[in-house]
Amino acid sequence: PVKAAAKTSTSATQTTATVDKAQVKAFKEQVEKHLRTTIGTSPVKASKLAWWQAVVATVNEDIFGRLTDTQQTHAKNDTRAVHYLSAEFLMGRLTINNLTNLEKFDVAREALKEFGLDINEICEEEPDMALGNGGLGRLAACFMDSLATCNYPCVGYGIHYENGLFRQEIRAGKQVERPDSWREYGCPWEACRPESVQNIPLGGYVEKQTAPDGSQCSVWHPSSMIKGVPWDIPVVGYRGSSVAILRLWESRSTEQFNWDVFNAGGYVDAQAEKSLAETISKVLYPNDSTEAGKELRLTQQYFFCACSLRDILRRYKRSHHNDFSEFAAKIAIQLNDTHPTIAIPELMRLLIDEEGLSYDQAWDITSKTFNYTNHTLLPEALEKWPVYIFEKLLPRHLELIYEINFRFLNGPVEAKWPGNNEIKSRLSIIEEGEVRKVRMANLCVITSEHVNGVAKIHSKLVKENLFPDYAQLWPNKFCNVTNGVTPRRWILSCNRGLAELYNDVAGKDWPLDLDKCEVLKKYADKKEYQDRFMKIKHDNKVALAKTIKELTGVEVDPNAMFDVQVKRLHEYKRQHLNLLYIMSLYKSLLEDPDQDIVPQVFIFGAKAAPAYTLAKDIIFAINAVGEKINNDLRIKGKLKVVFLPNYRVSLAEKIIPAADISEQISTAGYEASGTSNMKFSMNGALTLGTMDGANIEIVEQAGIENNFIFGLSVDEVLELKPRYNPWDYYNADHDLKAVVDWLDSDFFTPGQPGALSSIKTSLLNNGDPFLVLADFASYKEAHQRAQKLFKDKAKWARAAMINSATMGIFSSDRSIRDYAENIWTLRSQIVKK
C-alpha cells in the first residue's frame, strides 16, 4: 500500500518519520557525556566544533564494536579479500553519511534539536576529507561504501596527505589556491595504529653477488629508510552490516634515515633529510588526468605501495606462515589507475629478496594477484617515468622491471610475432629515446589478470585503441566494469525529500537495491506524484539559491531552470562550449529582451590544476561574463551565471539535488565514464550531453527522449579529427563568429582588452583540439529542446521521474558485485556479532 502522495510537506532536510523517543534520549545523554568527558566542555560553553566532536565520539562508540566484529569474521573465515590500492580517496564529510548508514540520522537530529541545535549546522563544522582530485578519487570512496555495505572482505590503502586538494578562492574572477589543512584540529574519525608501522627502504645501489652454487643474485643497499605510520578510517556499511577499513600511510623520518650523514657530523644536513622524509605525504598532487612526472610523486607512490604490501604480507603470514602457495587464492589487489603500479615490482622483490622464492614462483603469484583499472585514454595521463629516476630511487625495482620485460618480449611476444621488432618496441615496458622511460600502463597490462575500463564505450576503446596489440595477445584479459555511485550518500543523505518519496513508493530497502526505485515509473504520469516530485526539487532549489547568495552574493530565482556543470576544469570537458552558448543566449536577449524564454541560471563549479593556464583563463572568463550578465538590467533577470568557489564533495551534495539540467558535454571519446552524470540523473536532472562515457548507458536506461543528446559520436569524432578545420565552422555560423569574436573585445573585461583572448586562440589558431566549434550548433539546438520541454511542467516532471527511477544499475553496489564476481572472485561474508 502506498501512502497518499500529496500529503507531505517534506523539506530538503526534514523527514516526517517518527523517531523513537528512547533512542533520542540515549543519544542525547551520550553526546552530553562526550561533551563533558571526551571534549572537556559543557553544553553552555560548547562551540559548534565541540558539539560536532561530541557527536562523532558518540557515533564512534557504535562503529568500533562493529569494526572488531568485521575483522574477526574475516580472519576466522580466511577467504579471499580485495586490497584496493589508490593514491586518492575523496571521502568528503563522514558524519551525516555515517549517521545515515547506522540509521541514526533522525535520532541525532532530534537529540540535537532538544539541545537547541540544527544538525546540518553542526555538521558544517566538519572539514571535507579532500584526499583526491575528482572522479577517480570519489569512485574509490563510493567503492569503500559499497564494499562495506555488501560485506566483502577488503582493505582500502592510500596516502595520509597532510594537505588535500587545494582550497579554491576566487579573487577578481580568478582562481587562487590556498592550502587545505583538513586535520588542523585533528580528525576524530581516524585512529593511529603504531603497532603496524612499516619501515621502507629507498635509494642506494644494487650489488651483484655470486651464490656458492654459482648463481647470481642482487643485493639492494638502500641509502635511507622512511617510516610509514598507518591511520585507519572506518567505513560503515549501510545498516551497519560491516565496517571496512581505509588505511592511509603517513611518512615520517626514521633514525636510519640520516644515519650516515649524522655519524659524519652533518647535523644540519641530517635535519634537512628528515624534512624530506616527512615531505613525502605532505601534499596531494593537484592534477586530474595528467601525470606529474616528478620524483616526489614516484616516491609517494612507492611509499604507500611498499607500506601496504608489507601490511598485506604480515597479515597473510599470521595465518599461513611462510607458505606462499595460498597467497594469490587469498589476496586480490586492485590498482586504481597506474598510480600504484610500483606495487608490482615491489611484491616481486619482497617475495624473491626477502622471502626467498624463485623468480618463477614470485611471478606466478604476482600475476594472479593484480588487476588494473584504466580511467582515461588521455595520453598526458599515461604515466611514464624516466629510467634515471628509477636508478636513483629504486634501482632494484628497475632491475626487476627489466627482467619482467625481457621475459615478456622473448616469451609470449616472440611466440606470437616471431622476429617482429616493431611490435616489440611498442609493447615493451621501456620506451627508448633520448630519455628512456618506464611505461607504467604496459607493466600493469602485462602483469594483471584482468584489465578493465569504467564504462562500456571506454572499455571498448581501451581494448581496441589504447592496447590493441595486447588485446590480440590476451583477448580475455580485457573487460568492462561500468562505474557506479553510492545511493546512500547521493540520494539518501543528500536528498531527504526524494528519499522519503522512495520510502513511500518502493519500501525502505531501496538504498540496498536501487532497482526497486523503478516503481516510480508507474507514477510518472500521475499528477499528484509529479507535483510531489517537483516540490522536492523546488525545495532543494530554494536551499541552493540561499547557498548561492551566501557564496557569491548573486540572487537567483528558484523558479528558473537550474543548469549545472560541476567537475574539474579541463578542455575536454568543454566548459568553454557552455560559456559560448551562454554568450549567444545573452546576445539574443540583448537583441530582443522581450522574447519568451524560460529564465535560466547557469551554475558552475570547477577547480583548475594550478599550472593549467588555459583552464584558469576559462574560470576567469566564466566569472567575467557572469559579472556582466548578472548586472545587466536590460535582460530583466532572465539569465544568471554563477561560479561557486571551491567545488568539493560537500558542495556537490547541495548542488546536485537542485539541478534541472546536468551538463555532460565532453568531446565524445574523452570522458571515460563520468560519475556525476549518474548522481544528477538519480536526483531527477535531465542530461544535456554527448554520447560519451556512461552518458550512453544512462540514456539506454532512461530513454533518449527523456534527455537532450547532441553532438558528434565517438566514431564521428575519430573520422573528423584528422581533417578538422575550426575556421570552417567559425566562418559559416554568424552567431558563433560573433561570440568567439566577443572574447577578443573588452566588453566583458572593461579596460582589459584581450583578457579572454587565449580561449579564442585555442579554438582557432591552436586547432580546437576538442572540437568545440564543431559541436556548437548542435549544442545550441539541444538547449532549445530543453527550454521547450521545461515550459511543459507535466512532461518535464515525467522525464525527470523516469531518469531518477531508472538509475538502478548505477549503484556502486552493482559495480562492486561485478568486480567481486568477474575479477576478484570474492564471496560476501555475514558478519557475526
The one-letter code for the residue type at 81 is A
Is 637 in contact with 658 (CB distance < 8 Å)? no
β-strands 686-689, 661-664: how paired?
Answer: parallel
Q: In 573-708, where does DSSP find H-type helix?
A: 575-591, 613-630, 649-655, 676-682, 695-702
* From 34, 375, 396, 648, active-site residue: 375
Q: How many residues bind ligand GLG (CB under 6 A)?
A: 16
Is 597 in contact with 589 (CB distance < 8 Å)? yes
Nearer to ligand GLG, 134 or 164 (CB): 134
How far, in Å, CA of 237 to CA of 201, rounded? Answer: 36
Q: How far is the CB of 687 from ligand GLG (least distance, A)?
A: 14
Q: Which stretch binds ligand GLG (CB under 6 A): 96-104, 130-138, 443-451, 745-753?
A: 130-138
Query: In the complex, which residue's CB is closest to ligand GLG?
Result: 135
Nearer to ligand GLG, 289 or 706 (CB): 289
C-alpha cell at 323: 607458505
Nearer to ligand GLG, 357 or 618 (CB): 618
Q: How far is the CB of 337 from ligand GLG (least distance, A)?
A: 7
DSSP category for residue 264: T
- Backbone angles phi and psi of 448, in degrees to 5: -75, 150
Nearer to ligand GLG, 153 or 711 (CB): 711
Is 753 in contact with 745 (CB distance < 8 Å)? yes
Helices (H), strands (E): how many in the chain?
A: 34, 25
Nearer to ligand GLG, 139 or 556 (CB): 139
| Beta-bridge mates of residue 89 | 131
| Residue 193 burial class via C-beta count within 10 angstroms: exposed 0-12, middle 13-18, buried 19 and up | middle
Nearer to ligand GLG, 276 or 292 (CB): 292
Is 616 in the active site? no
| Closest-CA residue to 672 (of 314, 248, 336) | 336
Is 573 in the active site? yes
Nearer to ligand GLG, 199 or 480 (CB): 480
Nearer to ligand GLG, 341 or 376 (CB): 376
Q: Which of the residues 330 through 369 are near ligand GLG (CB under 6 A)?
A: none
- Contact string 728-767 vs ligand GLG (x = CB under 6 A): ----------------------------------------
Question: Which one among 92, 127, 135, 689 touches ligand GLG, defined by CB under 6 A?
Answer: 135
Q: Which stretch binds ligand GLG (CB under 6 A): 128-136, 156-164, 349-357, 490-498?
A: 128-136
Nearer to ligand GLG, 198 or 376 (CB): 376
Nearer to ligand GLG, 373 or 493 (CB): 373
Q: How far is the CB of 757 from ligand GLG (least distance, A)?
A: 28
Q: How far is the CB of 531 from ligand GLG (least distance, A)?
A: 34
| Closest-CA residue to 694 (of 458, 451, 462, 461) | 458
Question: Which one among 134, 240, 340, 711 touches ligand GLG, defined by CB under 6 A?
Answer: 134
Q: How far is the CB of 454 from ligand GLG (least distance, A)?
A: 4
DSSP letters, 744-785, are TSSSSSTT-TTTTHHHHHHHHTT--TT-HHHHHHHHHHHHHH
Secondary structure class of 158 (helix, strand, coil): strand
Q: Which stretch binds ligand GLG (CB under 6 A): 26-34, 385-393, 509-517, 669-677?
A: 669-677
Q: How far is the CB of 432 from ligand GLG (least distance, A)?
A: 28
DSSP letters, 434-461, are SS-EEEHHHHHHHH-S-EEESSHHHHHH
Q: How many alpha carbons lie under 13 Å from residue 630 in its C-beta half-sphere? A: 20
Is 679 in the active site? yes
Q: How far is the CB of 16 from ligand GLG (least distance, A)?
A: 36
Q: How far is the CB of 686 from ligand GLG (least distance, A)?
A: 20
* From 568, 570, 576, 640, active-site residue: 568
Residue 769 backbone zone (phi > 0: left; psi -120 to 50: alpha; other: beta): alpha
* From 8, 341, 667, 675, active-site residue: 675
How far, in Å, CA of 458 to CA of 376, rounded? Answer: 8
Q: How far is the CB of 673 from ligand GLG (least distance, A)?
A: 4
Is 463 in the active site? no
Q: Which stretch binds ligand GLG (CB under 6 A): 132-140, 194-202, 388-396, 623-631?
A: 132-140
Is 712 in contact with 668 (CB distance < 8 Å)? yes
Question: Which one among 675, 806, 811, 812 touches ligand GLG, defined by CB under 6 A?
Answer: 675
Question: Which one among 34, 375, 574, 607 touches ligand GLG, defined by CB under 6 A?
Answer: 375
Nearer to ligand GLG, 288 or 399 (CB): 288
Q: Is 288 in the site for ligand GLG (CB under 6 A)?
A: yes
Q: Is 671 in the site for ligand GLG (CB under 6 A)?
A: yes
C-alpha cell at 375: 580511467
How far, in Å, CA of 250 to CA of 278, rounded? Answer: 8
Question: Which one among 31, 119, 136, 298 touches ligand GLG, defined by CB under 6 A?
Answer: 136
C-alpha cell at 259: 644515519
| Residue 438 burial class via C-beta count within 10 angstroms: exposed 0-12, middle 13-18, buried 19 and up | buried
Q: Which stretch binds ligand GLG (CB under 6 A): 58-66, 384-392, 634-642, 665-673?
A: 665-673
Q: Is 139 in the site for ligand GLG (CB under 6 A)?
A: yes
* From 28, 489, 516, 567, active-site residue: 567
| Closest-CA residue to 222 (of 299, 292, 140, 326) | 299
Q: Which stretch binds ligand GLG (CB under 6 A): 208-216, 250-258, 625-633, 670-678?
A: 670-678
First to last CA, the chain: 34
Residue 444 backbone zone (phi > 0: left; psi -120 to 50: alpha; other: beta): alpha
Question: Which one among 224, 376, 493, 762 touches ligand GLG, defined by CB under 6 A?
Answer: 376
| Beta-bridge mates of residue 485 | 811
| Distance (Å) of CA 477 to CA 360, 453, 753 | 21, 11, 54
How far, in Å, CA of 105 to CA of 239, rounded? Answer: 12
The one-letter code for the residue type at 359 is Y
Nearer to ligand GLG, 227 or 339 (CB): 339
Q: Is 565 in the site for ligand GLG (CB under 6 A)?
A: no
Nearer to ligand GLG, 548 or 682 (CB): 682
Q: Is 673 in the site for ligand GLG (CB under 6 A)?
A: yes
Share of the chain residues as helix, strand and coil, in percent rounded to the nearest 5: 55, 15, 30
Question: Which one among 483, 493, 600, 650 touches ligand GLG, defined by CB under 6 A?
Answer: 483
Q: How far is the CB of 340 from ligand GLG (least distance, A)?
A: 14
* From 83, 496, 573, 783, active-site residue: 573
Q: Which stretch binds ligand GLG (CB under 6 A): 35-43, 135-143, 169-177, 265-273?
A: 135-143
Question: Which one among 102, 313, 454, 709 touches ligand GLG, defined by CB under 6 A?
Answer: 454
Is 375 in the active site? yes
| Closest-CA residue to 618 (of 721, 765, 759) | 759
How far, in Å, CA of 272 to CA of 274, rounded? Answer: 5
Q: How far is the CB of 87 from ligand GLG (least distance, A)?
A: 11
Q: How far is the CB of 791 from ligand GLG (least distance, A)?
A: 33
Q: Is 693 in the site for ligand GLG (CB under 6 A)?
A: yes
What is the separation of C-alpha 32 from the centre of its chain, rounded to a whole number of angstroms? 36
Q: Is 674 in the site for ligand GLG (CB under 6 A)?
A: yes
Q: What is the set of active-site residues?
A: 375, 567-568, 573, 675, 679
Residues that bind ligand GLG (CB under 6 A): 134-136, 139, 288-289, 375-376, 454, 483, 671-675, 693
